Amino acid sequence: MGGSVASEEWPESDVDCMRAALAEAELAAGEGEIPVGAVVVLGGEIIGTGRNCSVRRSDPAGHAELVALRAAATSVGNYRIPEATLYVTLEPCVMCAGAIAQARVKRVVFGAYDPKAGALGSAVDLSDSRALNHRFDINGGLLADECAGLLQRFFEARR
């Protein structure tokens, strides 16, 4: 299903989309949120963007992936977006993996691995779970150093 791919092997379109997700993560950091950003792409176009907003909105479900998926669903007028790709700067958690399956996303591309809470192979692997009734392709590690560095700098500044 997934796995890390060397940066030079990634298509330019994937790199561009992850850079858009990183821009969202930077905005989140500027708002005092954990810097995670996401974009949903369909047919080569970004149809939804999101960044963490749990603190600002007092919303435990304010994860970048959920915000981007909601925006994308609104954009197409359907909660299912089966041909879409979700780009996110951090490996999705259990909650977000469930939402990705419910949205019937075709592919997930993430940046940094999350050994503590990542649900697509790091802490747990829901990508092959019978509990989720939809399977999606997973590619991890795109611009991983940049994505992880943003998170590291954010947490170092807060200590």
* Residues 157, 13: Cα–Cα separation, whole Å: 32
DSSP 120: B
* Residues 124, 47: Cα–Cα separation, whole Å: 29
Give yes or no: 146 in active site: no
* Residues 76, 82: Cα–Cα separation, whole Å: 11
The residue among 67, 57, 55 whose CA lies nearest residue 92 is: 67
Tell the residue number behind the tokens 């940049």, with chain if given: 146
The residue among 61, 103, 62 whose CA lies nearest residue 85 is: 103
* Residues 113, 115: Cα–Cα separation, whole Å: 6
Given 65, 91, 146, 156, the catalytic residue: 65
List the catalytic residues: 65
